[in-house]
Amino acid sequence: MSNFLVTGGAGFIGGNFLNLMVKKYPADRFVCLDALTYAGHTETLAPVWREKNFSFVRGDICDREGVFRLFEKEAFDYVVHFAAESHVDRSIADPSVFLRTNVMGTQVLLDACRKYGIRRFHHISTDEVYGDLPLKGGRAFTEESPLKPSSPYSASKASADLLVLAYFRTYGLPVTLSRCSNNYGAYQHPEKLIPLSISRLLRGEKVPIYGTGENVRDWLYVEDHCLAVDSIVRGGRDGEIYNIGGRCEKTNIEVVRTLIRALGKDDSSLQFVADRPGHDRRYAIDPKKIERQLGFSPQTDFSDGIRKTLEWYEKNGDWLSALCKTGEEREC
Ligand SMILES: NC(=O)c1ccc[n+]([C@@H]2O[C@H](COP(=O)([O-])OP(=O)(O)OC[C@H]3O[C@@H](n4cnc5c(N)ncnc54)[C@H](O)[C@@H]3O)[C@@H](O)[C@H]2O)c1
């Protein structure tokens, strides 16, 4: 039996991770630590809320005393660290909270791991730390690509990555780190492209598209990402970085047109808006290392993933409209 701390588990990816892992590993215990910011919702954890091997603690990862108390009480074996401020536009409007949570919060967790001991600290990062690539050309980021973040968000994630690797080198803390591409699936906040488009289309409104919509992203179904993280946590090598990609590059406009078509609408649902400052052109991940070393490859292709995602949002209109009502929906 192992005891897991999962930070940020009331958010999109952490919530999907817990909903899968709590049921997959009934002999392990999972404690979710989440501050419930605008991005965290306990409803996301409804599928596991009553499970015996799950518990929830509301708390801030930057609260050193609170985090240390929790480590002392729980004697965690593993930490899987999802908690972060995660939206690029918010980081452009106000970078401060991104530095506090993403950098200082990560440091608090690393210090707690050093003090109380741990079998593994797994840090969730992003392909955005590598910066962007030209729109044309087949290059992709490997784990050795230089860090060239463009936004305050990606700069804060890159800083945290360096700190995690420094704790491995300096203190021998057993860490692993993964950098994934754009996730999509159930429970994603409607400030991000796919749920924003779905919620607008379901309400008969137009979908805002930055610039000409030619920016390219690699898309990864969230449950595939969670399985990849699970394989690293249990089988990865200390001190190593793993890229996780979907082998699924698409322009933003292609993604939105897929949703428009699936909902029986046409291009009159598109609304082009001024581009985001410093907007990254193309992200592309080379996922060969995790494929070769851990035998991981995504199971869900884009058309299947989009179908499941649409079905989920159509069935869970209450979850979506509760967020839209609180004014949390923003342009992506
Ligand atoms: N969503 C993506 O496509 C994507 C892509 C690459 C990497 N990532 C990374 O994956 C991780 C999870 O992303 P997500 O999309 O689920 O994010 P999210 O914004 O949906 O969820 C973040 C969660 O962290 C919690 N949180 C924020 N600040 C906290 C604090 N100070 N203390 C405790 N909890 C706090 C929030 O309440 C929320 O539940 C992040 O580290 C993000 O950088 C996400």
Ligand 1 geometric centre to CA of 143 (Å): 21
**Cα–Cα dist 41/11, whole Å:** 7
CA 117 to centroid of ligand 1, rounded, Å: 24
- Single out the residue of 186, 183, 184, 182 nearest to residue 311, CA to CA: 186
Q: Is the CB of 101 under 6 A from ligand 1?
A: yes
What's the confidence (pLDDT) of residue 73? 98
- pLDDT per residue rounded down to tens, the chain (332 residues): 999 999 999 999 999 999 999 999 999 999 999 999 999 999 999 999 999 999 999 999 999 999 999 999 999 999 999 999 999 999 999 999 999 999 999 999 999 999 999 999 999 999 999 999 988 887 899 999 999 999 999 999 999 999 999 999 999 999 999 999 999 999 999 888 999 999 999 999 999 999 999 999 999 999 999 999 999 999 999 999 999 999 999 999 999 999 999 999 999 999 999 888 888 899 899 999 999 999 999 999 999 999 999 999 999 987 777 776 555 554 33
Among the residues of the chain, which ranges form H helices? Answer: 12-24, 64-74, 88-93, 96-98, 106-116, 152-171, 193-202, 222-235, 252-262, 288-294, 302-315, 317-325
SS3 state of residue 34: strand
For residue 115, with 0-12 CB atoms within 10 Å meaning exposed, 13-18 middle and 19 or more buried, which class applies? exposed
Catalytic residue IDs = 127-128, 153
Ligand 1 centre distance from Cα of residue 136 (Å)? 30
Give the residue from 236, 100, 107 showing the smallest Cα distance to 177: 236
d(CA 276, CA 273): 9
Count how many residues are written for the chain.
332
Domains of the chain, first to last: 3-184+221-244 (3.40.50.720)
Joined together, the tokens standing for residue 258 give 């897929």
Helix (H, G, I), strand (E, B) or coil at 150: coil
Write down the pLDDT at residue 332.
Answer: 31
Pocket test for ligand 1, best of 5, 13, 97 (most atoms within 8 A of CB): 13
Whole-number Å distance between alpha carbons of 136 and 65: 49
The structure's pTM equals: 0.95
